[in-house]
Amino acid sequence: MRASHTMKIAISSGGTGGNMGDRAILAATLQDIRESIPDVKITLLSINPDYRSEDKDINMAFGKWETFKTLQSIDLLLWGGGNLLQDQSSILYIPWQLSKVIAAKMFGKKVMCYAQGIGPIETSIGKFLTKLFVNRIDLITVRDEQSKELFKKRGVVKPPIYVTADPAINLKPSDPKETQKLLSTENIQLDEDKPLVCIAPRRWFHYNYTITPVSYNVKHDIWPKGGKEKFLNYLEVMAKTADYLVEELNAKVLFISMVLGNGQNDEKIAEEIIQRMKYKRNTKILSSDYKPRELMGIIGETELLLGTRMHALILASAMNVPVVGVIYQSKMKSFLQMIGQESRAIDIEDISFDKMVNIIDDTWNNRGQIKEDIKPKVEELQKRASSNVDFVLKLLEYPKKM
């Protein structure tokens, strides 16, 4: 039977920060939950007092006191999605993320790990806390088989673990007319003779399992051994690749920032790549901090996306845009495998211009067939992503819409 009171759900995710991928996950999660539970009351837990939700009907809880007060009154805590269990950026990241789970269970509340990608978990404290507290969660969904296997490897055996898909694959893009307005504002003209190719760069090689966060390492120019040389090589290869896109494909190169600021500064990485290019005038960096749906609509107008960001690949694939992935973690390779495009991946640790060109040429020359191939794969992932909400309904004992 339907619950006699309005369901109250709290969400703890990375979506209240500057990461566009996490924001896309959050937007899709809110979209899917509202479609299944129209009268639900949702509160986002955030440490960012400057964050304002793109959903005007969402309550916000900032700081420890508001978080604890919220957790006392809810029916369910959704912990995720995104990549909340990893210790590569800082060994303090896992303890911080698990603190909300611990508090919710202290108040006797149901907790669901929602469509997370797990790992890497390599530190002793990370392994210990994962085994100790994740086993107390009521139900787990993960976005790939590798995450399920890592949970098992780290001793998570009690709660059921279901493999679904990343919620962002279900996100609905902005209206085509709105997308055209955004392109016009950016002074981007669509031209069949000058195709628009998208690049989503990112900072890497600062990650080294230390107590200090990435933002600190970047600010103080701290690198693990060989990290700086690898990063400079990445910038050079990306610049030569962008020049190749202009010279050989007559493309206009559009750089997008999946993370603005926050120590990672994708927009600055784009600038560093452009500085190394010959054809600087044939490039454009999106100038605004768009909503995930808006960015998704813009990506949908491109002919190819080269991404060092997982959710750039996801949003592009959902818009039926062929992708080439520069792989920095196994989660990206897992996604490309899910859409049957694992051959269009290059390891960031072994990146070279020749390898990039070979993959790009093959992708470009076969992009029509690729679109046909990935469409049914994406549709299957969208069904799997929708099942995340089915598990929410199950935990809440809320009737599923027919």
Give the angle subtended at the CA of 166 by the CAs of 311 and 254, to the nearest 5°. 15
Judge whether 186 lies within some domain: yes
Q: Which residues of 190-215 are buried (b: 16+ CB within 10 A; e: fewer)?
A: eeeeebbbbbbbbbbbbbbebebbbb
**CB of 315 within 8 A of CB of 179?**
no
Cα of 128 vs its chain's centroid, Å: 26
Q: 94 with 221, same domain?
A: no
H/E stretch holding 367 reads helix 367-396
In the chain the first and final C-alpha atoms are separated, in Å, by: 14
Residues 346 and 205 in one domain: yes
The answer to whether residue 138 is domain-embedded is yes
Residues 376, 331 within the same domain:
yes
Range of the domain at 71: 8-169+382-396
CB 142 within 8 A of CB 115: yes
| Residue 221 confidence (pLDDT) | 80
Task: Quote the pLDDT of residue 41.
Answer: 96
Q: How many domains does the chain have?
A: 2
Closest by Cα among 392, 349, 382 to 143: 382
DSSP string, 67-98: HHHHHHH-SEEEEEEEEEE--SS-TTHHHHHH
- pLDDT, position 1: 40
- Kindly give, in sequence order, each residue whose CB lies less than 8 Å from that of residue 212, ignoring residues fewer than 6 positions away: 90, 222
Tens of pLDDT, residues 258-312: 998 767 789 999 999 999 999 999 999 997 789 999 999 999 999 999 999 999 9
Q: How many CB atoms lie within 10 A of CB 377?
A: 15
What confidence score (pLDDT) does residue 223 get? 81
The length of the chain is 402
- Write the single-letter amino acid at 43: T
Token pair 């799997």 in the structure block, residue: 384
pLDDT in 10s for each residue of the chain, 402 residues:
445 679 999 999 877 777 899 999 999 999 999 999 999 999 999 877 666 666 777 889 988 899 999 999 999 999 987 888 988 878 888 998 999 999 999 999 999 999 999 999 999 999 999 999 999 999 999 999 999 999 999 999 999 999 999 999 999 999 999 999 999 999 998 988 999 999 999 998 876 656 677 777 777 787 888 889 999 999 999 999 999 999 999 999 999 999 987 677 899 999 999 999 999 999 999 977 899 999 999 999 999 999 999 999 999 999 999 999 999 988 899 999 999 999 999 999 999 999 999 999 999 999 999 999 999 999 999 999 999 999 999 999 988 775
Query: Are 138 and 21 members of one domain?
Result: yes
pLDDT of residue 164: 97
Note whether 62 and 32 are same-domain residues.
Answer: yes
Q: Is 237 exposed, middle or buried (0-12, 13-18, 19+ CB in 10 A)?
A: buried
327 is a domain residue: yes
Q: Which structure tokens are listed for 387?
A: 């099942």
Grouping H, G, I as helix, E, B as strand and the rest as coil, residue 259 is strand
d(CA 143, CA 331): 9
343 inside domain: yes
Bridging pattern class, strands 304-307 and 41-46: unpaired
Same domain, 375 and 388: no
DSSP bridge partners of 60: 44
Distance CA 191, CA 171 (A): 27
For residue 337, the number of C-alpha atoms closer than 13 Å in the C-beta half-sphere is: 11
Half-sphere exposure of 84 (CA within 13 A, CB side): 28
CA distances from 244 to 132, 233, 302 (A): 51, 16, 17
Residue 2 lies in a domain: no
- Decide: 180 and 41 in contact? Cβ < 8 Å: no
CA distances from 298 to 95, 108, 176, 181, 360 (A): 37, 44, 9, 10, 21
Distance from C-alpha of 111 to C-alpha of 215, rounded to nearest angstrom: 30
Amino acid at site 221:
D
Q: What is the CATH number of the domain that holds 236?
A: 3.40.50.2000
For residues 309, 261, 211 and 49, what is the CA-based torsion angle, rounded to 10 degrees?
-120
Whether residue 55 is found in the same domain as residue 180: no
Residue 104 belongs to domain with CATH number:
3.40.50.11930
Q: Considering the domain boundaries, does residue 3 fall inside one?
A: no
Same domain assignment for residues 375 and 389: no
In a domain, 264, yes or no: yes
Contact status, residue 314 vs residue 334, Cβ threshold 8 Å: no
H/E stretch holding 146 reads helix 145-153
Amino acid found at 62: F
Could you tell me if 236 and 319 lie in one domain?
Answer: yes
Residue 290's nearest CA partner among 317, 268, 312 is 312
**Do 324 and 203 belong together in one domain?**
yes
59 has which bridge partners?
Answer: 43
Q: Which residues pair with 307 in a beta bridge?
A: 200, 325
| Claim to verify: residue 17 and residue 163 sit in the same structural domain | yes
For residue 1, tell me if it sits in a domain. no
Torsion, Cα 337 342 346 347, to 10 degrees, reads 40
Residues 246 and 310 in one domain: yes
